[in-house]
Every structure is written in structure tokens, then in C-alpha cells.
Amino acid sequence: MRGARHKRMHSLTLTRLASPAAIRDAALLPHIDRLVRRTLDSWSPSSRVLLLDQAKKITFELTVKQLVSFDPGEWTESLRREYLLLIEGFFSIPFPSFLSFTTYGRALKARKKVEAALKEVIRKRKQERATTARREGEDEKKKEDMLEELMEGGEEEEGMTEEEMVDFLLALLVAGYETTSTIMTLAVKYLSDHPRALALLRVEQDGIRARKKDEEEPLTWSDYKSMPFTQCVINETLRVANIISGVFRRAMTDIHFKGYKIPKGCKVFISFRAVHLDPDYFEDARMFNPWRWQNNEVVQQVGGAGIYTPFGGGSRMCPGYELARVVISIFLHHLVTRFSWEEAEKDRLVFFPTTRTLKGYPINVWRRRKEGSESEQLGTIPVNLSSSSSSSSSSSML
């Protein structure tokens, strides 16, 4: 997708799904809160869960709601089953399509079913738009979901075909499903490996929950903005995990770089992982140390110089960066304020072909006891831990 179409779709995604204003002013934030609580409420008081699967369930249901306004139910669960088969085919061997028993063959069949389900939604929406009389000023009414925006079209171009709408909806589904859920899972894994970081994050989140009337009161935008250490944990998880290892770009002109010439037209792979784990930019670069982000000088240095780029940069920067942070923050809030957990079995982090845990990170969870605080259970945890005093004691080699 290029030119005016790309600019419109990027802008549309940002304003509809990911801008701070859309999250803050629309009903998106309380909806995220409901989805997270709904998933956690389904856990038994003492049970074993595959955390990655649960995180993916949250991100899938959230994305479907924003795209086509379907709440969790039989339709979304049926769509999710086919979508999982589709995702499995992304990194499989592309055998001939008539070999339907292969992973790739099953993915192709699943893709057709997902496409058919979305096309049915599109056709029903078109019928509703055709039969519903337009009220005066309806064009000024805020659109309810992404599909409605796509059907409206832009002034500078013709409307999208059904196939183009399906492709775009699927692209957003893929973008929001796999990456955010993996970050959610790995943040919990890193916190499990670093008890002092977990304790400090829990103190922060317990303080926010203590201001609420009860456990069911949803988080607000101001609550989200009151989680400085949680954001440090998310920053560090993004840096060391590198969910997106890099991106390809095409040289638009001859480029001379450190004695090398990159001819016009060549494709260049920009490795985020190589930069994020470079000790020239990050002290003890392979250590998980969320306290490094409490140093404003570090934040300004790596941010302003384009060194820290977990969401890419430039005109093709991921438009969902703020939404991803909100989802992870709300998930961590409800998890640490309501549950304690331990690893059910050792799991290993791998980075090829994608960043993930091999076993989906199985954990044993149980409801937290109301009496006593986390500080009382783990010992006194100073809230203002400096990066210099904590990095050696609370970081491990990745």
C-alpha cells in the first residue's frame, strides 16, 4: 500500500484505534478494562493457565470489537479458531495448495473461511446502510468502528472493494494480535525472574487500586498516566525482547555509509535488535533493568537519536504504539492486584522465526490474600530504587 491510500489508512488507524485522544475520550479504555477483567475472572481461584493463550484471547477480542463491533461470543470464538490456523501457516513450508492436510494447506482453507466471515459482515453492513434512512447530520456522526470508516471512503479516492477491506482488516488483526500479546506475556516472565521489580510494580498498582471504590471500578486515563514504573517495565521488555526484530526498507537513492555504498533500489534490513542490545547505547545491554528508564538523560539520549525504536519510526511507525502500552498496562494492573503466580514449568525464550516462549509460558495462579501487603510478604521494598543500586541485584543475563 503506497501513496495517498497508505497515508489515509495510516492516519485512519491512528485516529480510530491508537491515538491518545481516541483511547481517552472514546469508550475504548473501559472496554479494554472489561475484556481484561472478563478473561481473568474466567480463571479458577487456584489454577494453571497458559499465559500467552490468555493474552492472545484478550488482544483478539479487543481488535475484533474495534474493527467490526462484535462482542466476545460464539461468532468471535469461531473466527478465532480459524484465525489460529491461518497464523500457523505464516512460517510453514508453502506446499502446493491441494495438499490440504499440511500446515500451509490448513492455513489457506482457514483464510478462505475468515475471508467469507468478514465479507458476510461487510455485506450485512452495506444492507443496513442502504435500508436505514439517513438522519440529518448523520455524516457528522462519529463512526462506530473501523469497518464503518472503510465503507465511507475518502474524498480523494474511490471506496474500497470488499477484498481490499478484508485484506486491511486482516492486516490490523495480525498487527494487534501477535505482538501485543507476546509483550504482555514476556513482561510477566521478566517480572517473575526479577522479584524486586515485580514488588515495586505491585506497590504502584496497589496504590492505584486503593483509590478505587472496589475491584470492579475500571481504570481511567489518569490512572494509566500514574504508572511510571510500569512504563519502565514495558520499555525494558520491548528493548530486550524485540518482538519486531527489524524492518526492510528500499534505498530511494545511492547511500554512502561508513565507506560502503548502498545502490539505489537495494533493500536494506534495519535491525532493531542489534541496536537495542548494543552496549555502546545501553549499559549492560543484555540485562533486564527497568530502572534504567528512570534516568531522564538516558530516555532523551536514546529516544531523540532514534536508537530506541520498538515501534519503528518515520511515516511508517506503528500507529498502535500507544494502544499497545495501554493494553499491557491494564493487563498488568489487574494481574498483579488480583493474583500471585509461579512458573508451572520452565519455559525458554526463542527469537526465530518470531520472538516467543516455547511453551506459551504456563503458570500456576492463585488469588492474592487481602490481608497484608506485598511489602510485608517479600520484605520492605524501597519505592525509589536507583538504577545503579538495583541493576546488579535484580537483573539477569538474557
Residue 385 has pLDDT above 80, yes or no: no
What is residue 167's three-state secondary structure? helix
pLDDT tens digits for 301-322? 776 667 888 888 777 777 788 8
State the binding site. Answer: 318
Q: What is the pLDDT of residue 16?
A: 67
pLDDT tens digits for 12-59? 776 666 677 778 876 789 999 999 999 999 998 888 999 999 999 999
In terms of Cα–Cα distance, which of 42, 88, 338, 55 is closest to 185?
A: 55
Helix (H) or strand (E) holding 336: helix 321-338
DSSP state for residue 368 in the 8-state scheme: P
CA-to-CA dists, residue 198 to 188, 335, 361, 388, 398, angstroms: 9, 11, 17, 18, 17
Query: Of 23-27, 28-32, 153-157, 226-230, which one has max mean pLDDT?
Result: 226-230
Mean pLDDT of the residues in the chain: 84
By mean pLDDT, which of 75-89, 304-318, 377-391 is the weakest? 377-391
Name the residue with cell 511453551: 359
**Four-point Cα dihedral 225, 230, 232, 236, nearest 10:** -130
What is residue 375's three-state secondary structure? helix
By mean pLDDT, which of 38-52, 170-184, 197-211 is the weakest? 170-184
State the binding site for heme. Answer: 318
Which domains does the chain possess?
3-69+144-394 (1.10.630.10)
pTM over 0.75: yes
Q: How far apart are the first and last CA of the chain?
A: 37
Is the model more confident about 155 or about 239? 239
Residue 247 has pLDDT above 80, yes or no: yes
- Contacts of 207-216 with C-beta under 8 Å, sequence gap 24+, read 208/333, 209/333, 209/337, 215/337, 215/338, 216/37
